[in-house]
């Protein structure tokens, strides 16, 4: 008399409707997040200058420098009126091992030209730089300079600085 071999086939229980909907929602969410990350990483490189003061800017000149001098062609914004914003496309910048800084020269109507060096750029820069001038309550101007390289930060590119500009005295406070 032989032994009877049991059939080891197990049937899967069908997925209930709520579980299916949850799986589809999670898959859709992952796809949406991936699409947003791809869009953010592929946005064009830009220089954005904002004049949020009660004064007109005659010009803003911005470029990268290292110990040897100017590395890039200057971008010049002229006649930036009260409340205006200017945007310029930037090329990918190859600043690896140059220990570059971003120099900004600017002149408000009726005041002297001022400048400051900002940030630390020691790698390929592929991102956005925002320069923002804002009035303070003590007749000075707040200058914010921020460079971003996308979702992931680069430890070789550091630029998120704030300066107080004393127009009457003619200097930039650190």
**pLDDT tens digits, 69-100:** 999 999 999 999 999 999 999 988 999 999 99
Which residue intervals of 6-145 are DSSP H helices? 17-41
Q: List the domain range (segments joined by +) for residue 30.
A: 15-43
Alpha-carbon gap, residue 141 to 31, rounded angstroms: 44
87 and 165, same domain (yes or no): yes
25 and 57, same domain (yes or no): no
113 and 70, same domain (yes or no): yes
26 and 65, same domain (yes or no): no
Share of residues in the chain with pLDDT > 90 (%): 62
132 and 162, same domain (yes or no): yes
167: which 2 tokens? 């127009």
Looking at the structure of the chain, the number of domains it has is 2
Mean predicted lDDT score pLDDT of the chain: 87
55 and 105, same domain (yes or no): yes
120 and 168, same domain (yes or no): yes
Let me know if residue 104 belongs to a domain: yes
pLDDT on residue 42: 61
Average pLDDT score over residue span 29-36: 77
The tokens 């704030």 sit on which residue?
A: 162
pLDDT on residue 154: 87
Q: What is the pTM of this model?
A: 0.76
């Amino acid at each position: 008399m032989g032994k009877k071999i049991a059939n080891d086939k197990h049937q899967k229980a069908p997925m209930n409707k709520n579980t299916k909907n949850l799986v589809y929602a999670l898959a859709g969410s992952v796809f949406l997040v991936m699409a947003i990350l791809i869009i953010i990483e592929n946005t064009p490189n830009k220089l954005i200058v904002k004049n949020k003061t009660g004064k007109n800017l005659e010009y803003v000149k911005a470029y990268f420098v290292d110990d040897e001098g100017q590395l890039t062609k200057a971008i010049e914004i002229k006649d930036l009126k009260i409340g205006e914003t200017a945007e310029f496309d930037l090329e990918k910048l190859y600043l690896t091992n140059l220990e570059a800084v971003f120099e900004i020269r600017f002149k408000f109507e009726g005041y002297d030209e001022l400048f400051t060096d900002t940030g630390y750029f020691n790698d390929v820069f592929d991102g956005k730089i925002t320069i923002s001038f804002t009035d303070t309550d003590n007749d000075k101007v707040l200058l914010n300079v921020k460079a971003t390289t996308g979702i992931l930060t680069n430890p070789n590119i550091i630029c998120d600085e704030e300066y107080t500009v004393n127009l009457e005295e003619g200097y930039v406070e650190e």
